């Protein structure tokens, strides 16, 4: 490793020299092109090439293959001419220590930097943070910023995982966003993609074919061979890089079901252990997205601490709640459509609705409630709809109000999607900035995804490559000042104040088996949670007819509607003596 602790990338060595390293086991020779000058690199062991040369921060550099192909550094810290251009030398910048907040206090706000504001930059986003903090949000989660092809996209097609996309500003602008959030008491989480590379600008195949597993493919590209030490270092060091050099408080790892590694420990375990060891004394919050419903990564230590991952995105809660709200039954909603109530109740009480049934999932009731990140909407569940509609356009307002109360006053960690706080009317669509044949293929593929759906014609699906699709997804801040927008914000502000006052103080130390499902049928849901020092009770009727609610101990802390009436929700809290 270099003296900065990185195996990959270019790092300063002192006295004006920089060390350049690239793992290129598919080549017998390699050249560094530094500010237009070509320098032969020395082959080392295990496929590494290296050289040391005098340079200054900001200098351009690239690597030249024996056939003349010129490629950027896959661990480039900064790109200014797209994913095919040269990289820019950028020295490490360790950020000041911030004590952070405990995971149990998290109320997460997921956002996409490019559509969060009209300008779509880190600096513009800073101006919106005070309103989120005042509302009761305690964490923002930023969709991937690693550089991808084109000037707009969701970020899940990144090819240069260390380089913040310049469409959002400079690396220092991103650091300023994190710092501004910390000043307001907001944690900042970053979504990262370690399961594949995007289709535009990934040159690893040209010089490091061993980076990939020829026998495995993901839904988005070639499978990665995580058993190889240089590959493992690439991703583990990337995780450390984001937290150490930008100040992020944690990461959300995308689609880890596609990170398949037979090693012991596997990559996910090694990454979490090393990341926490690299930042002693700092809270590190790691979450996962995984459609397998596995629990091994989220186990707690005997003292209740988190040795690996803090939480798992709980698709079961979302899917059951969405079916209850909309009646939709196509695609991944189908397993929840016949009877969503027991599944929604079990997800609230125990985490996963599917815990081995049908071959999916593992038991999860032994995990504390804070191990589950629940949501009614996120970028996937809105943006992967053909027309990008939000629940505010799909669900009855009273049902949405009831489900929001259930989400925000559950002992699970709640997450909302940008715009939820004021019932944003604009859609969030799938968009990308690819050009030429790749852009045409993306348009064709997007329309093909929904060819079997009967509710609309393929021609109605917005073209993801059209810049107007991107612009149509930008938040309409004017709606915040409408009567509907103000009322939605007032409701959310009240719910989050109640959460921080009545629920958060009892989450730390809550152990296994805390949730108990009393009933879940025909819209009636009753759950009790035994927290650390209090019992929280939910009594809800999401059905169409009035029912008698089971009794609940404690004081009523919130209600939506009249007890037992359709779309009514009540919460009670009994503090232990």
Is cis: bond before 265, omega within 30 of 0?
yes
Whether the CB-CB separation of 144 and 254 falls below 8 Å is answered with yes
Residue 415 sits at the vertex; the CA angle it makes with 409 and 416, to the nearest 5 degrees, is 100
Determine the Cα–Cα distance for residues 464 and 443; give it in Å rounded to an integer. 6
Q: Which of 410, 419, 563, 404 is nearest to 491 (CA)?
A: 404
Strand partners, 535: 530, 574
The position carrying tokens 């915040």 is 480
The catalytic position among 104, 110, 249, 289 is 289
The catalytic position among 254, 315, 316, 421 is 254
Determine the Cα–Cα distance for residues 76 and 153; give it in Å rounded to an integer. 20
Rg, C-alpha atoms of the chain: 24
Query: Which residues make Cβ contacts (< 8 Å) with residue 418, sequence separation at least 6?
Result: 109, 110, 111, 112, 115, 116, 424, 475
Q: Which of 297, 308, 315 is nearest to 374 (CA)?
A: 315
Determine the Cα–Cα distance for residues 60 and 352; give it in Å rounded to an integer. 49
Residue 289 known to be catalytic: yes
285-288/187-192 β-pairing: unpaired
Length of the chain: 577
Whether the CB-CB separation of 52 and 18 falls below 8 Å is answered with yes
Among the residues of 39-107, which ranges form H helices?
none
Q: Which of 362, 413, 437 is nearest to 109 (CA)?
A: 413
Whether the CB-CB separation of 279 and 251 falls below 8 Å is answered with no
Residue 254 known to be catalytic: yes
372-375/87-88 β-pairing: unpaired
Whether the CB-CB separation of 331 and 339 falls below 8 Å is answered with no
Beta strands in 1-144 (DSSP E): 11-14, 17-23, 31-34, 37-40, 42-43, 48-54, 60-64, 70-71, 87-88, 108-111, 139-142
Give the active site residues. Answer: 254, 289
């Amino acid at each position: 490793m270099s003296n900065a602790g990185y195996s990959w990338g270019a790092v300063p060595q002192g006295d004006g020299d920089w060390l350049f390293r690239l793992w290129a086991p598919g080549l017998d020779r390699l050249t560094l092109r530094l500010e237009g000058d070509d320098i032969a690199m020395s082959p080392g062991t295990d496929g590494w090439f290296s050289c040391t040369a005098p340079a200054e921060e900001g200098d351009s550099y690239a690597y030249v293959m024996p056939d003349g192909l010129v490629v950027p550094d896959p661990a480039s810290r900064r790109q200014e001419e797209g994913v095919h251009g040269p990289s820019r030398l950028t020295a490490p910048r360790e950020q000041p220590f911030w004590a952070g907040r405990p995971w149990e206090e998290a109320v997460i706000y997921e956002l996409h930097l490019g559509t969060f504001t009209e300008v779509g930059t880190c600096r513009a986003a800073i101006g919106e943070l005070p309103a989120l903090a005042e509302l009761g949000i305690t964490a923002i989660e930023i969709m991937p910023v690693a550089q991808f092809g084109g000037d707009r996209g969701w970020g899940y097609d990144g090819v240069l995982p260390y380089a913040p996309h310049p469409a959002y500003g400079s690396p220092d602008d991103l650091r300023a966003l994190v710092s501004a959030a910390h000043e307001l008491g907001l944690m900042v989480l970053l979504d990262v993609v370690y399961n594949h590379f995007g289709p535009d600008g990934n040159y690893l195949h040209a010089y490091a074919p061993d980076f990939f597993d020829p026998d495995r493919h993901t839904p988005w590209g070639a499978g990665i061979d995580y058993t190889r030490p240089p590959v493992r270092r690439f991703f583990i060091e990337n995780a450390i890089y984001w937290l150490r050099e930008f100040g992020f408080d944690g990461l959300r790892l995308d689609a880890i079901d596609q990170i398949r590694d037979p090693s012991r420990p596997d990559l996910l375990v090694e990454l979490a252990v090393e990341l926490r060891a690299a930042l002693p004394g700092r809270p590190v919050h790691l979450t996962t997205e995984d459609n397998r419903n596995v629990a091994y990564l989220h186990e707690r230590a005997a003292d209740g601490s988190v040795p690996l991952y803090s939480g798992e995105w709980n698709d079961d809660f979302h899917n059951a709640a969405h079916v209850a709200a909309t009646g939709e039954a196509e695609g991944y909603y189908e397993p929840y459509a016949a009877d969503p109530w027991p599944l929604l109740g079990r997800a609230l009480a125990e985490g996963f609705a599917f815990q081995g049934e049908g071959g999916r999932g593992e038991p999860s009731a032994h995990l504390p409630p804070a191990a589950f990140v629940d949501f009614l909407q996120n970028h996937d569940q809105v943006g992967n709809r053909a027309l990008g509609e939000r629940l505010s356009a799909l669900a009855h307002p009273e049902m949405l109000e009831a489900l929001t109360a259930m989400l925000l006053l559950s002992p699970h960690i709640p997450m909302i999607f940008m715009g939820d706080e004021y019932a944003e009317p604009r859609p969030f669509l799938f968009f990308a900035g690819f050009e030429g044949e790749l852009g045409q293929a993306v348009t064709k593929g997007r329309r093909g995804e929904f060819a079997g759906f009967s509710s609309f014609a393929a021609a109605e699906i917005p073209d993801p490559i059209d810049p107007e699709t991107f612009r149509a997804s930008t938040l309409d801040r004017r709606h915040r000042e409408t009567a509907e927008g103000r009322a939605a914000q007032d409701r959310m502000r009240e719910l989050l104040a109640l959460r921080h006052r009545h629920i958060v103080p009892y989450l730390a130390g809550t152990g296994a088996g805390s949730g108990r499902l009393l009933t879940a049928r025909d819209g009636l849901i009753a759950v009790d949670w035994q927290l650390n020092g209090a019992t929280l009770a939910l009594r809800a009727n999401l059905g169409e007819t009035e029912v008698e609610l089971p009794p609940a101990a404690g004081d009523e802390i919130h209600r939506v509607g009249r007890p037992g009436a359709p779309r009514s929700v009540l919460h009670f809290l009994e503090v232990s003596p």
